[in-house]
Amino acid sequence: MTPQARPLTGLEAGFFAYGSRPTPVNLQIGGLTLFTGTPPPLDEGRRFVTSWTDAVPALALVPHGGGRRSRWVVHPALDPDLHGRVWEAEPGGLRAAVDAVMAQELPPGAPPWQCWLIQGYAEGEWAVLVKAHHALLDGASLIQVACRVLGRASAEEPRRRPRRRGRGTDLVRVARGLLRYALRFLPVATGAFAFEGSGARRFEWTAVPLATLRGVADRHGCTVNDVFLAALTTVLREWPHTPWRRGPRPVWTLVPADLHERDGDDEPSAKVVNLRVALPCDEPDPRRRLRALARATAISKRSGHVATGAAGSRALPVWLVSALLRLTFSRWHIDLLASNVRGSRRALAYEGTPMTGMVPLGFIPRGHPLGAFLVSYADQTCVGFAVDPALPGGDALCRLWEQAVDELDRLEVVETSREPEDALD
């Protein structure tokens, strides 16, 4: 299927503009997939990569023009030397290889994504890193790409798509929810991190059993996303670079909400609305922290912010969506980004070799020092941290995360009238 040239959406144009000014910021996001066995030959791997546009037509698109005339146009053919690359890692150097690959710029004038085969870091192990500009793909879309090219199918069963609303209907929704949506930018974030990010990043990650997080969620009447945020709150409490040591102030966290399922759209693209949730780092009781976050996410879902934001991203002028995106990521609005992406529900494989794990590789907004990302695959949940390399103690985040999950798992059950479906997924 041939993709159609089209104008950039406000959100897509906003990501391109945000990444280029006033100072550049690396807006590449990625997914690292892990395998065991013998890595594929280079030529075979490149042929595999250049066939991806058959399964994911959006990967053939390249941005063209500037300003209001910016469009996605169809690139005539993928260059296997540009889009299928190999990184020979040092023994034990998987993390260093990931940091180096994610720091490299995407090739100009080509579809803004790449696939890297990483090998040499361990005997009988290899990895595939797919990265893309956030304007082309978001975290949910990366999962879709993995499912289509490694599973030869979409991550979800085919659904009946709802009828799309017209621009007039979207503008009415925006008008009705404008005041409430604007008030979500208050109160102003008070600077959770004294350190200002440099724009560089390195990655740390660790995995825990998915059943552990689901068990905590089921016992306490909340969702896996609530457990993720509660564990992250504990990590930041124990980490010596967060604000609660300087007073009872919240850490304002940006939590993206995926719009693909809401719109019945399985085509990979950038399609999110960002919600703001306060992490109660000053609360000493882990049970109260979990309950406070479960309540906060439920309120965010019922507030109508997701529907208003979705309508605005479709109907508002590109320049206004871009301005709101810059405001959303600013340091006076949030302190860090925390994203939970639903993983594949089916086993994935490369030419019969099963995939053993998946690692999320997110971006850090301009001026911020830290981001946290969660993804599940098979029976494991992986948390990944993107950390400014100038920030000390970043390697301790994974150890603190494991301890935080264990603490939540050992909490005694308390009675609650809240149902899990009241919260964000």
Nearest-CA neighbor of 100 among 18, 45, 28, 150?
28
Lowest pLDDT segment from 30-34, 232-236, 299-303, 402-406:
299-303
Backbone angles phi, psi at 369, to 5 degrees: -100, -5
As a whole number, the mean pLDDT across the chain is 81
Q: What is the separation of C-alpha 343 from the centre of its chain, rounded to a whole number of angstroms?
A: 11
- What integer pLDDT is reported at residue 157 of this predicted model? 42
Mean pLDDT of 261-287: 71
Q: Return the number of other C-beta atoms located less than 10 Å from residue 392's C-beta.
A: 11
Note the pLDDT of residue 424. Answer: 41
Specify whether the CB–CB gap between 274 and 309 falls below 8 A: yes
pLDDT tens column, 32-84: 999 999 998 888 888 888 788 877 888 889 998 776 678 899 988 788 888 88
Nearest to 150 by CA among 167, 123, 135, 130: 130
- What does the pLDDT read at residue 160? 44
Whether 290 and 226 have beta carbons less than 8 Å apart is answered as yes
Q: What is the pLDDT of residue 386?
A: 95
pLDDT of residue 326: 85
pLDDT value of residue 155: 38
Share of the chain above pLDDT 90, in %: 36
pTM of the predicted protein model:
0.86
Report the alpha-carbon distance of residue 384 to residue 343 in Å, rounded: 14
Instruction: Compute the average pLDDT of residues 372-380.
Output: 92
- pLDDT confidence bin for 3, thresholds 50/70/90: low
Q: What percent of the chain has pLDDT over 70?
A: 78
- Measured between its terminal Cα atoms, the distance across the chain in Å is 32
Count of CB atoms situated within 10 Å of the CB of 393: 11
For the cut 60, the answer to whether the pLDDT of residue 152 exceeds it is no
Total residue length of the chain: 425
- Residue 291, pLDDT score: 94
Q: Which of 35-39, 183-187, 314-318, 354-358 has the lowest mean pLDDT?
A: 183-187
- The band of 419, judged by pLDDT with boundaries at 50, 70 and 90, is very low
Q: Does residue 407 register a pLDDT over 60?
A: yes
Contact (CB, 8 A) for 32 and 361: yes
Task: Write down the pLDDT at residue 28.
Answer: 94
pLDDT in tens, 222-268: 999 999 999 999 999 898 877 666 666 778 888 887 554 544 444 55
42 vs 219, residue with greater confidence: 219
Three-state SS across 58-99?
HHHEEEECCHHHCEEEECCCCCHHHHEEEEECCCCCHHHHHH
**Least-confidence region, from 33-47, 61-75, 278-292, 346-360:** 61-75
Report the pLDDT value the prediction gives residue 67, as an integer from 0 to 100. 66
Instruction: Set out the domains of the chain in order of their start, with CATH numbers.
Output: 6-150 (3.30.559.10), 167-340+369-422 (3.30.559.30)
Does pLDDT of 367 surpass 50? yes
343 to 41, 159, 174, 385: CA distances (angstroms): 28, 18, 31, 17
Asked if 134 contacts 148 with a C-beta cutoff of 8 angstroms, the reply is: no
Question: Residue 307 has what pLDDT?
Answer: 66
